[in-house]
């Protein structure tokens, strides 16, 4: 049985109601698709701690507060993930791809034009229904 990977995910919304997306590098699982930034929760970390660390490392944002948005277990044929999704509306810094990935602020109305991994589509649906 494959171990389920615990991932902290940030739905980062700026004061213009745009959402930050990052493009997964081509060599990674679900590479080339757009996603909500985040990363693995390490042993001993809370989801908020993991999300704060990952967003600083990946997109140069300093998280001030997060709030739970939803949780989601998803099984890909080759990987199982548990996504712990939080909204982030209070942060400092200017978003940039510190690991060479493309990042983009996208108006909510335009999100459906981007290709997401299957697991992110449920997040997208909930975000657009609010």
When divided into structural domains, the chain yields a total of: 1
130 found inside a domain: no
Is 85 among the domain residues? Answer: yes
Phi, psi of 120 (to 5 degrees): -75, -15
Confidence of residue 29 (pLDDT cuts 50, 70, 90): low
Residue 23 domain boundaries? 4-125
Q: Where are the beta strands (DSSP E) in 27-61?
A: 34-35, 38-40
Q: How far apart are CA 2 and CA 127, in angstroms?
A: 29
Residue at 34 is within a domain: yes
pLDDT at 24: 83
Q: Tell me the per-residue pLDDT of 61-120, one tens digit each, with 9 for 90 and over.
A: 999 999 999 999 988 777 788 999 999 999 999 999 998 899 999 999 999 999 998 888
* 59 lies in some domain: yes
Prediction pTM value: 0.90
Kindly state whether residue 101 falls inside one of the protein's structural domains: yes
Element (H, E) at 6: strand 4-12
CA distance linking residue 130 with residue 115, whole number of Å = 20
**Residue 101, domain CATH:** 3.90.79.10
The mean pLDDT of 50-55, rounded to a whole number, is 97
Confidence at 25, pLDDT banded by 50, 70, 90:
confident
């Amino acid at each position: 049985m494959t171990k389920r990977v615990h991932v902290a995910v940030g739905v980062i919304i700026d004061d213009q109601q745009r959402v930050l997306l990052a493009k997964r590098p081509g060599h990674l699982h679900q590479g080339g698709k757009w996603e909500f930034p985040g990363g693995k929760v390490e042993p001993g970390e809370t989801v908020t701690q993991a999300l704060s660390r990952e967003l600083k490392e990946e997109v140069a944002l300093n998280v001030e507060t997060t709030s739970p948005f939803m949780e989601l277990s998803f099984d890909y044929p080759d990987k199982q993930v548990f996504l712990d999704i939080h909204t982030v509306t209070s942060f400092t810094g200017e978003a940039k791809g510190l690991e060479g990935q493309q990042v983009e602020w996208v108006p909510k109305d335009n999100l459906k034009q981007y290709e997401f991994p299957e697991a992110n589509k449920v997040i997208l649906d909930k975000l657009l229904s609010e």
